[in-house]
Amino acid sequence: MQLIQNTYKVLILILLLLFVSACAESESTSGNSEENKSTNGNAQGVTDDKIIVGTSAPQTGPVAIYDNVRKGIQSYIDYVNENGGVNGREIELIAYDDQYQPSKSLQNAQRLIEEDKVFALIGPIGTANINAAQSLLVESGIPVVGLNTGADKFVNPPIENFFATQFNYKIESKMLVDYAINKLNAKKVTLVYQNDDFGMDNLTYAKEALEEFPEVEIAAEVPFLASDTDFSSHTQKVLNSEPDAILMFSTPAPAAQLRKELYNMNATDIPFIVNTTGGADLNQFNVAGEEVWEGVITSTNVAIDESQVVDYDLYAERITSDYSEDTIGFLTAGGWSTGKIFVEALERAGDDLSWDNFINTMETFDGWEETFYPEVTYTPEHRYGMTTLYIVEAKDNDLSLLEQVYYNPDTEEVVYQ
């Protein structure tokens, strides 16, 4: 009898332990909305007088120039704080350097979310970098505003807490291919691409776009690394392919290096088309040389006519004051615009700074025209941010408009406006 009683006691104890364990597990997986709330009922990172946000992006390393994006964000945040903040709260930006290394991007994201307890991530950079942190970002539910990658997989299908500002690479590739063929009459195209997630995605998109033109030949595919500095062999491969046009998918430094080699070999008569990431910043005139970069065709989703930007003078004044006049350009303009989008969403969200409400508020942007971008739109079905692109030519240390191109997401048609 005693043995039976002891057995019952052990069974009851085991059941109790299992019940407690199940409850604990339920609490830990019952949704991040409760776990990530601050004491005031808002999401983590929000106090009575402060909103803490974070970013992980290159500040040093092979694409240290991308730190200009952070500078644009920081400059706008500083301006907002100096003028009373947002609904009585100042914004604090915590920025970590990932050196363009995906493993560091993941570590930084974990630190920002779990240790610093930021309200949102704004302006993260890099396809492979965001890909490395994607599972963490999606699982946490934290708003990610201003994705600086145009990789299609982050917006198609839409991810609830992801909002892009970099123009979609798949759409951009389609537009650049269309321009090379229909505007430049190219029959042979050489594709030069960065040999990483970013470059491989663009290569895939360009080849898909070229399938619509069976009469056009891919003369060669030439890969390179973001860290490469000697492009003599790459250039020889390009010239040996005898292309009618060169399409390059690159970060800034490699694009400048290849252009230098083409210039040295007297081959700048071949149309050289570089995607937004590698060609849109005016600093390329300094990196490659003004005469060398002249004539490069690139694209940008940032207005090139200062009069089209509602606060251009303020932007130029702040960037020059906070950093230097040389910092003015595509990258800081994009960062400034990301900061404006984020602040506008905070203002629209009002007193309810839960993640759910903030994400719902982001979906109220409908053709918003208060940034450097032509328009900003987010819906539950559409996280592109924008679908209008400018195709431009490097000319006289500036960018000259060649075409304004619109992509219709419903019909997938490229329309020259």
Confidence tier at 16 by pLDDT (50, 70, 90): very low
Same fold, 50-167+305-386 and 170-300+390-416: yes
Confidence tier at 361 by pLDDT (50, 70, 90): very high
Evaluated on CA atoms 114, 352, 159, 56, the torsion sign reads negative
Mean pLDDT (whole number) for 121-147: 97
- Give the C-alpha separation, 205 to 404, whole Å: 20
Average pLDDT of the chain, as a whole number: 91
Query: Mapping DSSP to helix (H, G, I), strand (E, B) and coil, where does residue 221 land?
Result: strand
Look at residue 407 in the predicted model and tell me its pLDDT: 85
Q: How far apart are the first and last CA of the chain?
A: 91
Look at residue 377 in the predicted model and tell me its pLDDT: 94
For residue 200, the one-letter residue type is M
What share of the chain has pLDDT > 70, as a percent?
90
More confident residue, 11 or 309: 309
Look at residue 29 in the predicted model and tell me its pLDDT: 32
Q: What are phi and psi of 376, to 5 degrees?
A: -130, 125
Whether residue 28 is predicted with pLDDT greater than 60 in this model: the reply is no
Query: Mapping DSSP to helix (H, G, I), strand (E, B) and coil, where does residue 102 land?
Result: helix
Q: Please state the CATH superfamily assignment of the domain spanning residues 50-167+305-386 in this structure.
A: Response regulator (3.40.50.2300)
Lowest mean pLDDT among 17-21, 129-133, 238-242, 256-260: 17-21
pLDDT digits (tens, 9 = 90+) for 38-70: 556 799 999 999 999 999 999 999 999 999 999
pLDDT digits (tens, 9 = 90+) for 145-177: 999 999 999 999 999 999 999 999 999 999 999
Whether residue 24 is predicted with pLDDT greater than 50 in this model: the reply is no
pLDDT digits (tens, 9 = 90+) for 74-123: 999 999 999 999 999 999 999 999 999 999 999 999 999 999 999 999 99
Q: In what order do the strands lie in the sheet with 120-122?
A: 90-97, 50-57, 120-122, 144-147, 162-164
Whether residue 19 is predicted with pLDDT greater than 60 in this model: the reply is no
Helix, strand, coil abundance in the chain, percent, nearest 5 = 45, 20, 30
Contact at 8 Å (CB) between 148 and 125?
yes
How buried is residue 49: exposed, middle or buried, by Cβ count under 10 Å (0-12/13-18/19+)?
exposed
- Which residues, including other chains, have CB under 8 Å from residue 73's CB and lie 6 or more apart? 55, 93, 122, 123, 146, 335, 336, 338, 339
CA distances from 263 to 3, 231, 260, 285, 301 (A): 92, 12, 5, 13, 27
Whether residue 380 is predicted with pLDDT greater than 70 in this model: the reply is yes
- Which residues, including other chains, have CB under 8 Å from residue 169's CB and lie 6 or more apart? 149, 150, 151, 152, 198, 201, 202, 205, 249, 275
CATH class of 170-300+390-416: alpha beta
Confidence tier at 408 by pLDDT (50, 70, 90): confident
Whether residue 27 is predicted with pLDDT greater than 80 in this model: the reply is no
> What are the extents of the domains in the chain?
50-167+305-386, 170-300+390-416
Query: Mapping DSSP to helix (H, G, I), strand (E, B) and coil, where does residue 53 land?
Result: strand
Look at residue 40 in the predicted model and tell me its pLDDT: 66
Query: Mapping DSSP to helix (H, G, I), strand (E, B) and coil, where does residue 332 land?
Result: helix
Look at residue 60 in the predicted model and tell me its pLDDT: 97
Left, alpha or beta for 164 (phi > 0: left; psi -120 to 50: alpha)? beta
Helix intervals (H) in 183-230: 197-210
Look at residue 372 in the predicted model and tell me its pLDDT: 95
- What b-and-e string marks burial along 213-235, b requiring 16 or more CB atoms within 10 Å of the CB? beebbebbebbbebebeebeebb
Look at residue 11 in the predicted model and tell me its pLDDT: 43
Helix intervals (H) in 183-303: 197-210, 232-240, 252-264, 276-279, 284-288, 290-293
**Number of neighbouring beta carbons within 10 Å of residue 406:** 15
Contact at 8 Å (CB) between 378 and 368?
no
Look at residue 417 in the predicted model and tell me its pLDDT: 83
- Give the C-alpha separation, 255 to 106, whole Å: 27
Distance, C-alpha 417 to centroid of its chain: 25
